[in-house]
Amino acid sequence: MTLALHPASAENPAGAVQLGFAVDDVAKLHEARGDNDLVFSSPPRPQQGSTLARIRDSEGAEISLSS
């Protein structure tokens, strides 16, 4: 398990919390989103040497996914 702390920004204000999970293939998960009832708030995109995406949970909170 890794705990990552990042500086506050306009997108991520101080005091905000966002869970993030590493998955084998974010793009493949995005392709199968209908089969898994996943709602992506941000589709997969290359960023900082990995592929990142965001989904929303059943209560609307964002969760980061990376591969």
Secondary structure (DSSP) of 21-52:
EE-S-HHHHHHTHHHHT-EEEEEEEEETTEEE
Q: Is residue 4 part of a domain?
A: no
- What per-residue confidence (pLDDT) applies to 51? 96
Report yes or no on 55 lying in a domain: yes
Classify residue 12: in a domain, yes or no: no
If one counts the domains in the chain, the total is: 1
Is residue 44, in this structure, part of any structural domain at all? Answer: yes
Amino acid 17: pLDDT: 83
Range of the domain at 23: 19-62
Domain-located, residue 1: no
Each of the 67 residues of the chain gets a pLDDT tens digit; together they read 777 888 899 878 898 888 899 999 999 999 999 898 899 999 999 998 999 999 999 888 899 999 9
pLDDT at residue 2 in the model: 78
Which residues have CB under 8 Å from 33's CB, separation 6+? 39, 40
